[in-house]
Amino acid sequence: MNKKKFLAMLLACVMMLALATGCGGKDASAPADSAPADSGASSDAGSDAGSDTASDSGPYKIALIQQHQTNAFQIAVTEAAEAKAAELGAELKILSADQDAATQISQIEQCVTEGYQAILFEPVDPDGLRDAAKNAADAGVVVINIISACTDWEGAGISAVSYGNNVKAGETEMQQVADLLGGKGNIAILTGPSADAGGLQRMEGYENILANYPDIVQVVSPADCAWDTAQAQATVESWLSAYDLDAIVCENDGMAVGAGNAAGANSGIVISGVDGTPDGFEAIKDGRITGTVSQNGGAMAANGIEAAVTLLSGGTLETNVLVTDNTWIDASNVADYE
């Protein structure tokens, strides 16, 4: 081999060796899995940051099944639940049972089938909804009652309840009425549906206070107006033509507004409600009703959503009975609650 050919071959070998070393140099200077490891660390950090609000596969799926959506109180419940779910990054589905227990049972079953991880509901029938709640809980769903509770709710596997103290609300309302009447007078009462647990508890509160005031007389039997403003207005219109009333005590603001519409502004009749709703506040301001006991339905819903997310995230609750406060609101302080 002549000298020129030998040098050419030697140069080619050197270039090939340099090229091979260059291709392998990156692997030698850094582990092959370093980039995926860094990427994985970034992903894990993001997961940890969102662990309180979302599952590994996406936002927690929560269903809220309301008794109905026909008055300002229930609208406040809806809006507060939506706001809290958005704040916590949860996916929220809202349904209305339209006051029908069979519908609510079907809705609970459908939400379980659709893979909802938590179900909040206000039982239309506290006895009739117990089995549906237990079946959902047995299927691994976090079940929470809001506003009112199923009978033996803990035995049914319900994780928590978020509501107001309805007996206390009734006592607060009737005591205010008794004070305004000076301990005597003719009264009438408007109630929610006869089987509604919350309404029954408020009536219990009324009776607790009335036992102390023998000169306060119910001149007509309580009327079931199904929480409805129009029904309450029609009922009170008929009462006013037949009875001399000093006070009309209503188990919710919607019915109190109906009573106030029938009596007119500044009628001289004490008219009270429960719930602390915007329409109730407006009626206080223009003199159609005297006052209301606020239980903050929005807080009941928000507290329930927060409890569900806490449990779904693997956390624990300090208490599984979440109770909102009762506050009497009248013309003297209504501006503070609007």
Contact 279, 308 (CB under 8 A): no
Separation CA 265–CA 262 (nearest Å): 9
pLDDT in tens, 293-309: 998 899 999 999 999 99
Q: Which amino acid makes up residue 295?
A: Q
The pTM of the full predicted model, rounded to 2 decimals, is 0.70
Helix (H, G, I), strand (E, B) or coil at 112: helix
Q: Who wins on pLDDT, 227 or 53? A: 227
Q: For domain 58-164+297-324, is the CATH number 3.40.50.2300?
A: yes
CATH topology of domain 166-294: Rossmann fold (3.40.50)
pLDDT in tens, 35-92: 222 323 222 323 333 334 455 567 999 999 999 998 888 999 999 999 999 999 999 9
Q: What is the mean pLDDT of residues 126-148?
A: 96
Q: Decide whether 58-164+297-324 matches 166-294 in CATH topology.
A: yes
Both tokens assigned to 166: 């309805």
Give the residue extent of every domain in the chain: 58-164+297-324, 166-294
Lowest-confidence pick of 12-26, 166-180, 206-220: 12-26
